[in-house]
Chains A and B, each alone.
Chain A
Amino acid sequence: MQHWPWFVGGAALAGVCVFHWLTLRRMLAVSGRFTAMINRARFGPEKQVEMTAEELRAAMLAATREAFGPDAAPDAPPTSTKPEAKAGPTLTKQQSAGMHLLFLVALLCGGLVSAFLAGGPSFSGGLRGELFNGFFGGKASSAAVLLFGGVLVGFGTRMAAGCTSGHGLCGVSRFQVGSLLATMAFFGTGVLTSLLLRWLL
């Protein structure tokens, strides 16, 4: 299997993030979508709120004055009908569970397409490498270790409020300090684990 050159993979990931923002006006966040699906199943659908940029600006100014006093938000809500006055963030409908599911399925399909382009996927029950399987006592226990690792990743992702896509791709590219620290933790732990396994095996 021939892996893509790192710069092609990097450019593709950046392209996906930009495309996601341009089409949906949302930051790419894989674990965020997964969390949204779980929350919908646990707590039911959220109340839909939609506001245009002007409505949102007026509501925010009113709420800011209420919270911090009239001096905190001295600007009057814009009454201009010029296009630039309408620019700004909006509150849009929350995406449906179907959209979240479609995204996650597309994620898997993207991985498969990439694997086929690189010479075809290879499926295995555990981590490829007899040493790894042998160290953990066979394919089944090695798969259980990987599953446990996946649970830990999920736990850490919730603790850090984001995963490698939200923090690593979107947060770091926007120079968010929390995202930089989170990404350093992700990759630092990955490198340490890899070195530890290499030393153990």
Chain B
Amino acid sequence: MADETCPHMQGCEMYEIFTFSETLAVWKTRYCQGDFKRCERFQRSARGQPVPVNLLPNGHVLEKP
């Protein structure tokens, strides 16, 4: 696991959401502050592709419950 923080955290809408609740911190530790290169958002951003606001790091797309 990479021991770095994601360079794309600034401006990432999902990161904002993860920081709001301790319950969601698991995303932050696994991806944003962990192995961020596995993050689907990071990968798309690094390829210069648009990142949907509701895309989760594991590639799951968040839909209205």
Residues of A within 8 A of B (CB): 27, 29, 32, 36, 39-40, 43, 46-47, 49, 51, 55-64, 66-68, 72-75, 88-89, 91, 94, 158, 160-162, 166-167, 170-171, 176-179, 182
A67 to B8, CA, bound (A): 22
Closest A-B pairs by Cβ, 3 of them: A161-B8, A39-B50, A171-B10
15 A-B residue pairs with Cβ-Cβ distance under 8 Å, sorted by A, are A27-B11, A40-B50, A49-B62, A55-B65, A59-B63, A60-B17, A60-B21, A67-B56, A68-B26, A73-B23, A89-B20, A91-B54, A91-B62, A161-B10, A166-B10
- Find chain B residues with CB under 8 A from A58 CB: 65
Q: Chain A residues near B60 (CB, 8 Å)?
A: 63, 66-67
Q: What residues of A have a CB within 8 angstroms of the CB of B49 in the complex?
A: 39, 43
Enumerate B1-40 residues with CB–CB distance to A below 8 Å.
5-11, 13, 16-17, 20-21, 23-24, 26-27, 30
| CB <8 Å contact, A177 and B58 | no
Q: Which residue of B lies closest to A25 (CB)?
A: B16
Q: How far apart are the CA atoms of A64 and B26 in the complex, in Å?
A: 8
Q: Summarize A's interface: helix, strand, loop or mixed.
A: helix
Q: Which A residues touch B52, using CB under 8 A?
A: 46-47, 49
CB distance from A34 to the nearest CB of B (A): 12
Instruction: Say what secondary structure dominates the interface of chain B.
Output: loop
Cα of A29 to Cα of B64 in the assembled complex, Å = 27
Whether the Cβ atoms of A178 and B6 lie closer than 8 Å is: yes
Q: List A contacts of B7 (CB < 8 A).
A: 160-161, 178, 182
**Smallest CB separation, B26 vs chain A (Å):** 5
- CB neighbours (8 Å) of A62 from chain B are 65
B43 within 8 A of A: no
B62 in complex: contacting residue of A60, A160, A161, CB < 8 Å: A60
Q: Which residues of B contact A167 (CB under 8 A)?
A: 10
Residues of chain A with a CB closer than 8 A to B11's CB:
27, 29, 32, 161-162, 166
Most buried by B among A36, A61, A74, A178: A178
Decide if A63 touches B56 in the complex (CB within 8 Å).
yes
Tell me which of B23, B64, B65 contacts A64 (CB under 8 A). Answer: B23
Task: Knowing A67-B56, A166-B11, say if A51 contacts B6 (CB, 8 Å).
Answer: no
Do the beta carbons of B48 and A158 come within 8 Å of each other? yes
Checking B23, B58, B63 against A67 with a beta-carbon cut-off of 8 angstroms, the contacting residue is: B58
